[in-house]
Structure formats: C-alpha cells, structure tokens
Structure 1
Amino acid sequence: MRILLIMDPGIPVPPEAYGGHERLVYLFAEEYQKLGHQVTLLAGPDSHCSGTTVAFGVNNLNRSVLQKNKEVIFAWQYLYRNLHNFDLVHNFGRLIYLLPVLNSPVKKIMTYGRPVSTKGIRLLVKLPHKNLIFSACSDYCVSTGNVAGHWETVYNTIDFSKYQLNQHIAEDAPLMFLGRLDKIKGAHTAIKVAKATHHKLILAGNIPTTPDNLHYYKTEIEPLIDNDRITYVGALNDREKNTYLQQAKALLFPIEWDEPFGMVMIEAMACGTPVIAFKRGSVPEVVQEGINGFVVKDASAMAAKLAVISAIDRKQCRESAKQRFDVDIIAKQYLSLFNG
C-alpha cells in the first residue's frame, strides 16, 4: 500500500524532546515502512523517516494565522497533484487538509490525540465524502467528537523495544513525575504525595512558557526543588526517559484535567514501572488495576497505594502494556480499519 502521513508543521518529525504527536507519526511511518508499505511523510522542516519526506511550513508553534493558511494551501495543492500516488491518507494534522480529497475514493483516516472540535466534524460530514474514518486515542477522546461520521478508538503507542525492563529496584527507589510542568498535570500533588510518604521524587518535563503556568511553576514547584528529596532533571529525550523511568518505584500521574491518553503512562509501564493515576479522562482505559498500576481519586488514595506498590510484578506490568500498546500492534489496527 502507498501511504501518505500528514503532520502539522511546528515541531519536526521525530521531535528532539517534547512532541508526543510528532513522535507517534514517526513511529507509524517507520512501522508502515517495515511492514512493506511505501510511505511518504508530509511534515514540517527537518522531518525525516525511512520513506520519502516532503517538508512544508515552518517549525514555530507560535507562527501566525497567515502562515498557517499558507500551510493549508500547500497541503491542498500537494494532495490535489499527488493523490493518484496514494492508497491511504493518514492525517494527524488539521482536518481542513483533507477538504480537497473528501469525496475521492482514496482511503482516509483522520486521527485525533486531543479533545475534538465537534463544529468542524459536523460541517465536514455534511459535504460529500467517502472512505473517511475518524479515529481518536481513547474511548474518552472519541466521546468528545463522535457527533457524526464513522469513529474508531485506536490507542496511542510507543516502540517497546526502546525501553528496558527493570524488575528489581531498591526499597528506597524514588518516585517519578514526567510531563509538562503545567498546573493541570499535577506536579504539586506529586510533591505532596512524595513528602507525605517519605519518598524522593524525580521531576522531569518542560518548564511552562504561558504566564499563568510559569507563575505556577515559579511559586508552587521551583521553591520545593532542593535537589535532595525533590530533584528536577529537565526535559528528557527518549533515552533519558528510559534511564529515569527504570529506576523509579512508581510513576505518579495526578492530573487535574481529562487527559486524552497520557503517553508517559505506557512509557513507564514499558520499563516495568507501575503507574498510580487519578481517575480522569482515559486513565481507566490505560491503567489495569493491580496489574500495571492503580487508579485513584485523590492524593491520599495515591499515597496509600504506594504502601502496596511492590505487590505489582514489574515484568507483568510491562507485558500487559506491551500486548495492548506496542507499535506493531497499533499500526496493524490502523491498517485494518478498512478491511471490515
């Protein structure tokens, strides 16, 4: 099959550090190619994959509306001129990119990794269209957009071969928090739980740039970092994530919003590190109670589960997640969507 993968410009594919969706697109590009398909990637500058790469736009998340409109026009022109070269268009970028090919016979998958704007869905499906499937990364995420059209849940993925299992950790092993240091991610709660249970905590992730979240970081997080009990290690690349997650007793995921998926949960599980997470968004779909972690309602319940975290078999933690979320499984799920 000849597959076109589309991702918005702004961050290159694959990303150097932050960029969950861009990392997903790269994984699918490589896995589709590995499965014998011919892959073309349409993405921002400095992107690459084992197939063919076509660059467009600029890598700037704060680029202007005018620039974004230019990118839409480029995508339209590229699709119009090259559609005959593809059997499947798998779009992780803006929905509007698909407008010129909506009613063409080519197979189309529109994938979402965040809550969906239902207005765009309703408008689009009123237009003549065929061979179009909407997908999202969890049942929760599907529920935000499933107002019209054909929807499927296909979970996010990682390459489990890039993460190594650590079955045995010390009793005084640290806890870990990994994610953007925005308030809704709950780093302050992770610190509270670590202190209450007398654990060390490793904080990792991007320092916010928006004024409200930067104020939160400066006032509620940074003053508590002592590089002894609470250590901040910066934003991590994939190799560094593997290193730190392996040595953690548990990953704390005390989110204050409805997370559409939460890639860090399966990254931790891939190392055998169980996850204790708040019951929001997709968490109950990802965490299997007592097998690879626990789903809890608040900080006190999170702290209580740390007392029994050693009962989780770290090898089983990894295997249970690998069977559901490894890239070879998820890529085949996408490719099978049109086989039913």
Structure 2
Amino acid sequence: MKRLHIIQVISNFPNAQKLPPTNQGGTEKVVYELTENLVKRGHHVTVFAARGSRTSANLKPFPKGLRGKGIAKYVIGNLPRHVDVIHDHTFDSALGKLNLRIPTVCTLHLPVKHRVKHPVYVSKRAKQVMGKNRGDYVYNGINPSEYEFSSKKRNYMAFMGRILPEKGVLQAIEIAEKTNKKLIIAGPIKDKEWFRRVLAPRIRRNPNIHFVGPIGGQKKQKLLKNAHCVLFPSLWEEPFGLVMIEAMACGTPVIALNRGAVPEVMAGFPQLICRSIPEMVAKVQQGNFPNPHVLRRYVIRRFTTSRMTQRYESIYRRVMKK
C-alpha cells in the first residue's frame, strides 16, 4: 500500500488547545491520536496546530491571533510539496469550503451543516441530521491502554464535560439531589454568568456536590475509574460524546439521556439509556450495572484509535481516486 502525505489541520480559534490537550479539548485529543497512528502506519504527516503542540508528525504551528480565512490562507501558503490529501478538522471547515485541487476531507466535529465535498461526521445520527445522509461517518476512537481500569467503585457519581446549560450539568445536580448521592462535577466553565447565577448557589447549598474545574491526566483517570457511575444527561444534539467511551474504558457505567448519538455509542447497553431525568434517577437508585470488564471490552471492540484510523485511511484513498 502506497504511503500517503497527509495534512492534518486543527485550529479551533479562539480556543485552540495544544496537541495533546491536557485538561480539555475532545477534538484535539481525537486529532492527536489519529495523527500519531497515521505516523505509526508509515504515512508522512504534517499537522497545522496551536503553538506549543507536541507530535511525532511534522509540526507547523499557527502564528498567534489567526482567524477565519487567515487560517486557510496560512495553510495553503505553507503546504509542503506533493500532498496527497488534506484532512480539515477546523470547526468552520476553512479549507473544505475552498474547493482545492488537493482532495480535502472535512470532519465535522460539531453539529453544523457545512456544504463541503467530502464531509465526515462522528456518528450516523450526525450524518442523518446535519448531512442529510450525505458523506461518511467515523466514530471517535481512544487508545484503551491510556485508560486505567478498576472493578472496585467508590460511592460517588461523576459528571464530566463543558459547563454549559445544554450539557445537562443542572440535570446531573437534580439527579444527585433526588438520590441523595455524592456528585463530582469536572469541566471548564464556558458560561461564567450562568455558572455564577444558577449553578454555584445549587452547588453551595449541597455538601454532597463538589465542583473541581477542568481536570486531566491522573486526576481525570482517578475520577473516571473510581466513580460508581458517570452521568450523561446531555440536552443537545450531541454528535458523539467522548466521555462515554472514556468512562466505559475505565470499567465505569454511563447513565445517559437519549439524545444525539447516545443510542449509537451506548448500543451495547440499552438498559442504561433513559428517556427522562426521572428514569435516570430510578436507574441510579437501582444500581444494577453491567460488569466493569464487559464495559471495557465493548469499547476495545468498537471505539479504538486504530479502528478510527483504518476508517479514515480508506476514506483518504477513496477521495484520492475520485
């Protein structure tokens, strides 16, 4: 098989994270893993990413303060010779919209409707809703060896994600209040005013609820692997939901609201998918969860970086033929 020269572009300004990300940045994590795997498979990869990134690929750091069209302009002006394919991960599909002569694959990590030639969504649901069934879908993958496993659980629930109304953090608090269980909330505050006005008073009132902010590394591992369960009461059209597979890789069950890609990601455990918050409360109270080893095996079978990389490789080769 011919080795390819692949360009990866990740630049979600103004909040671009370095590769690999530390405390947040699900998209950056996926792009980092994909890049490292493509290099391992012998491909020549150049990655355009935020300054300070670390990668086995050839790194082209973006200058500070680059926005919108400036991103595409910078990439085109700094392309190496003999590029086979560009993989655009920017949230506005900056390169995919330009109709370049180089085949350009665009992964749409957010639920957006961009008209690009070769769109790839991160779930079948996102492809149906956002792409009207046009294009491909590739599930996000993780490297299971990076996730610590524990079959022994402690007496707390966890919520991990961006602190925004649509992520369901208020609903997670409601579940903790109704079940009288301990809840640890982790993630970056993305709506400071809403947090101060709505969330902080609820957290202060309940000694069972703890907010620890954005976490990564060992802290994240400990939180996920020791949790009795992870709550995923997402209220929006979630395109994937990386924390679900991260938790299950640690052997931790996820109780999720039936929104967006949840039925696909949690397909092996339909008993953990709920139609309402009261149903999530009942599931927590019952505490009848799958075996931690079964949860981890499920992730290894369906959501690994190597599976994700193979899928992207076949898409690259197909668009090059076209």
Normalization by structure 2: what TM-score? Answer: 0.88
Q: 1:14 aligned to 11, 20, 27, which one?
A: 20
CA contact (8 A) 1:57 1:71 kept: no
Structure 2 unaligned spans of 5+:
none
In structure 1, the residue matched to 2:188 is 206
Q: 1:339 deviation in Å?
A: 5.3
CA contact (8 A) 1:289 1:295 kept: no
Q: 1:20 deviation in Å?
A: 1.3
In structure 2, the residue matched to 1:141 is 126
Q: 2:224 aligned to 245, 250, 255, which one?
A: 245
CA contact (8 A) 2:105 2:316 kept: no
In structure 1, the residue matched to 2:259 is 280
CA contact (8 A) 1:288 1:294 kept: no
User: What fraction of aligned residue pairs are identical, expressed as a percent?
Assistant: 30
Q: 2:307 matched to 1:307?
A: no
Secondary structure of the equivalent of 1:337?
helix
Letter aligned with residue 36 of structure 2? E
CA contact (8 A) 2:127 2:137 kept: yes
Number of matched pairs: 310
CA contact (8 A) 1:167 1:314 kept: yes
Q: 2:111 aligned to 76, 92, 115, which one?
A: 115
In structure 2, the residue matched to 1:129 is none
Q: 1:185 deviation in Å?
A: 1.1
In structure 2, the residue matched to 1:326 is 304
Letter aligned with residue 7 of structure 1? I
Letter aligned with residue 218 of structure 1? R
Write out aligned runs for 1:35-114 (5 A). 35-58=41-64, 67-79=67-79, 82=80, 84-93=81-90, 94-98=92-96, 102-104=100-102, 107-114=103-110
Q: 1:91 deviation in Å?
A: 1.4
In structure 2, the residue matched to 1:160 is 144
- Could you tell me how far apart the structure 1 residues matched to 2:144 and 2:223 are? 16
- Could you tell me how far apart the structure 1 residues matched to 2:316 and 2:45 are? 18
Q: 1:179 deviation in Å?
A: 0.9
Distance 1:115 1:240, change over 3 A: same
Distance 1:257 1:101, change over 3 A: closer
In structure 2, the residue matched to 1:316 is 294
Letter aligned with residue 136 of structure 1? Y
Q: 1:12 deviation in Å?
A: 2.0
Q: 1:99 deviation in Å?
A: 5.5
Q: 1:236 aligned to 202, 215, 229, which one?
A: 215
- Could you tell me how far apart the structure 1 residues matched to 2:9 and 2:25 are? 15
CA contact (8 A) 2:96 2:105 kept: no
- Could you tell me how far apart the structure 2 residues matched to 1:284 and 1:309 are? 20
CA contact (8 A) 1:76 1:99 kept: no
Please list the CA deviations of residues 255-293 of structure 1 after superposition, one character each: whole Å capped at 9, or x if unmatched.
1211111111111111111111111111111113537x6
Q: 1:151 aligned to 135, 147, 151, which one?
A: 135
Q: 1:24 aligned to 30, 53, 59, which one?
A: 30
Please list the CA deviations of residues 9-44 of structure 1 after superposition, one character each: whole Å capped at 9, or x if unmatched.
532222232211111111111111112222211122
Please list the CA deviations of residues 237-265 of structure 1 after superposition, one character each: whole Å capped at 9, or x if unmatched.
13321110111111111112111111111
CA contact (8 A) 1:12 1:47 kept: yes
- Could you tell me how far apart the structure 2 residues matched to 1:69 and 1:4 are? 18
Q: 1:215 deviation in Å?
A: 3.0
Tell me whether 108-117 or 252-261 shows the greater mean CA deviation: 108-117
Distance 1:72 1:160, change over 3 A: same
CA RMSD of aligned residues (A): 2.2
The structure whose RCO (Cα within 8 Å, separation 6+) is larger is 2
- Could you tell me how far apart the structure 2 residues matched to 1:99 and 1:221 are? 39
- Could you tell me how far apart the structure 2 residues matched to 1:41 and 1:20 are? 17
CA contact (8 A) 1:43 1:56 kept: yes
Secondary structure of the equivalent of 1:164?
coil
Tell me whether 109-118 or 8-17 shows the greater mean CA deviation: 8-17
In structure 2, the residue matched to 1:130 is none
CA contact (8 A) 2:93 2:108 kept: no
Letter aligned with residue 258 of structure 1? E
Secondary structure of the equivalent of 1:180?
coil
Q: 1:236 deviation in Å?
A: 0.6
- Could you tell me how far apart the structure 1 residues matched to 2:295 and 2:259 are? 21
Q: 2:256 matched to 1:259?
A: no
Distance 1:251 1:97, change over 3 A: same
Distance 1:290 1:73, change over 3 A: closer
Q: 1:166 deviation in Å?
A: 0.8
CA contact (8 A) 2:36 2:55 kept: yes
